[in-house]
């Protein structure tokens, strides 16, 4: 039986579902989990949606966002766990215990580095976003896309394509978006909230992060830091500032933008972005991370920012060299 048919059987025969995505959820995570929430509610199922920590404020317009729970409020067990936009199980962070509460794991993802950790794995690395995959999946499951679901899927797709401008945007992506607009969603307001609206504290945080910007390797690499102290000084949460790493990548002549973010003492989350030709996913994989060719990440422990910078620059220099 092909995976979509197995998924259909699961949806038809199971009753209680937990839905989750990766830690520090982005627009694709939030749109995907809440579209699945709406889908299952419309199917008359019992469903709990989980996020680690606070739900980022900018996604509160999505239907179901107020129902999202932290993992400590999970029930003893669920029939099935749906994991969306997650390349490997480690990315669940504090939500990891959910895997123990469910007999069946369904993995729906578009990361090329996906480890196929589910009992059912639907993985398409050609899809711009999980939202794009879910549009097809709901139709294949015979479900009509409601306005609530359309708002979630639009959020996923517009987020992971950087507003339809990254090279993962295809004519298929645009065809799906066109169908979503037929549901009369307020795409102007969603786009504005996701890309343009900032809080004052978010701007203060951006300014602190940008003040650390330095360039290397003939201006091909731009690196910035985000420390816990900056979060305290600005009063902002990270999502209030927008995709900070893009500021580094978007500088003229820069090929690789890097954001080194302090998570804990000597624990740093690295965000890597490339513009044209460097495969940053290969660099992230070296440190146990993953992602896409032009957007990837990993966590590095027990090193200082300076040490991390030195090792990353060596890797990036090699990748740049292989092309030049």
Q: In the complex, what is the shortest distance from the CB of residue 62 to ligand 5GP, in angstroms, rounded to a whole number?
A: 19
For 216-285, the DSSP string reads: ETTTTEEEEEE-HHHHHHHT--GGGG--THHHHHTSTT--EEEEEEEEETTEEEEEEEESSS--HHHHHH
Cβ contact 146:42 at 8 Å: yes
Residue closer to Mn ion (CB basis): 85 or 243: 85
Classify the phi-psi angles of 127: left when phi > 0, otherwise alpha if psi is within -120 to 50, otherwise beta.
Answer: beta
Contacts to ligand 5GP from residues 118-147, by CB under 6 A: none
Of the candidates 87, 202, 242, 257, which one interacts with ligand 5GP according to CB under 6 A?
87
DSSP state of 116: -
Contacts of residue 270, defined as CB under 8 A and 6 or more positions apart, other chains included, come to 258, 259, 260, 261, 284, 287, 289, 297, 298, 299, 300, 308, 312
Residue closer to ligand 5GP (CB basis): 11 or 132: 132
DSSP state of 12: H
Return the SS3 of 204: helix
Q: In the complex, what is the shortest distance from the CB of residue 285 to ligand 5GP, in angstroms, rounded to a whole number?
A: 8
**Cα R_g (the chain), whole angstroms:** 19
Interface with ligand 5GP includes 297 (CB under 6 A)? yes
Other C-beta atoms within 10 Å of 234: how many?
Answer: 21
Interface with Mn ion includes 85 (CB under 5 A)? yes
Q: Which of 247, 207, 197 is nearest to 223 (CA)?
A: 247
Of the candidates 48, 88, 151, 160, which one interacts with Mn ion according to CB under 5 A?
160
Rounded-to-integer distance, Cα 225 and Cα 259, Å = 6
Interface with Mn ion includes 255 (CB under 5 A)? no
Residue closer to ligand 5GP (CB basis): 106 or 145: 106
Interface with ligand 5GP includes 11 (CB under 6 A)? no
Q: In the complex, what is the shortest distance from the CB of residue 66 to Mn ion, in angstroms, rounded to a whole number?
A: 21
Residue closer to ligand 5GP (CB basis): 78 or 279: 279
Interface with ligand 5GP includes 295 (CB under 6 A)? yes
Classify the phi-psi angles of 145: left when phi > 0, otherwise alpha if psi is within -120 to 50, otherwise beta.
Answer: beta
295 binds, among Mn ion, ligand 5GP, none (CB under 5 to 8 A by kind): ligand 5GP
Select from 56-64, 128-136, 187-195, 288-296 the region that touches ligand 5GP (CB under 6 A): 288-296
Interface with ligand 5GP includes 241 (CB under 6 A)? no
Interface with Mn ion includes 239 (CB under 5 A)? no
Q: How many residues bind ligand 5GP (CB under 6 A)?
A: 16
Cβ contact 246:257 at 8 Å: yes
List the Cα angle 97/39/99 in 5-degree steps.
Answer: 10
Q: In the complex, what is the shortest distance from the CB of residue 106 to ligand 5GP, in angstroms, rounded to a whole number?
A: 18
Select from 12-20, 96-104, 249-257, 287-295 the region that touches ligand 5GP (CB under 6 A): 287-295
Interface with ligand 5GP includes 21 (CB under 6 A)? no
291 binds, among ligand 5GP, Mn ion, none (CB under 5 to 8 A by kind): ligand 5GP
Q: Which residues bind Mn ion (CB under 5 A)?
A: 26, 28-29, 85, 129, 160
The residues binding ligand 5GP (CB under 6 A) are 22, 87-88, 91, 111, 113, 271, 289-292, 295-299
């Amino acid at each position: 039986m092909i995976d979509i048919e197995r998924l259909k059987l699961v949806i038809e025969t199971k009753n209680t579902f937990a839905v989750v995505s990766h830690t520090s959820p982005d627009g694709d995570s939030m749109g995907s989990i809440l579209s699945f929430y709406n889908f299952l509610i419309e199917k008359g199922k019992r469903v709990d949606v989980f996020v680690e920590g606070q739900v980022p404020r900018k996604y509160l317009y999505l239907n179901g966002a107020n129902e999202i729970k932290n993992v400590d409020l999970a029930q003893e067990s669920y029939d099935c766990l749906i994991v969306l936009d997650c390349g490997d199980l480690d990315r669940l962070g504090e939500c990891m215990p959910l895997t123990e509460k469910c007999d069946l794991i369904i993995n729906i993802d578009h990361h090329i580095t996906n480890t196929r950790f589910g009992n059912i794995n639907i993985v398409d690395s050609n899809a711009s976003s999980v939202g794009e995959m879910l549009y097809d999946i709901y139709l294949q499951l015979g479900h009509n896309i409601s306005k609530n679901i359309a708002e979630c899927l639009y959020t996923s797709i517009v987020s992971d394509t950087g507003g339809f401008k990254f090279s993962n945007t295809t004519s298929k992506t645009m065809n799906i978006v066109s169908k979503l607009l037929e549901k009369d969603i307020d795409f102007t307001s969603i786009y504005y909230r996701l890309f343009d609206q900032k809080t004052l504290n978010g701007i203060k945080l951006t300014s602190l992060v940008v003040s650390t910007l330095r360039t290397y390797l003939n201006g091909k690499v731009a690196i910035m830091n985000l420390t816990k102290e900056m979060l305290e000084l600005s009063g902002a949460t990270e999502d209030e500032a927008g995709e900070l790493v893009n500021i580094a990548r978007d500088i003229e002549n820069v090929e690789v933008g890097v954001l080194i973010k302090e998570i804990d003492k000597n624990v740093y989350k690295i965000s890597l972005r490339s513009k044209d030709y460097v495969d940053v996913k290969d660099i992230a994989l070296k440190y146990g991370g993953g992602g896409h060719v032009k957007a990837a990440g990993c966590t590095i422990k027990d090193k200082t920012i300076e040490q991390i910078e030195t090792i990353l620059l060596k890797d990036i220099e090699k990748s740049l060299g292989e092309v030049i």
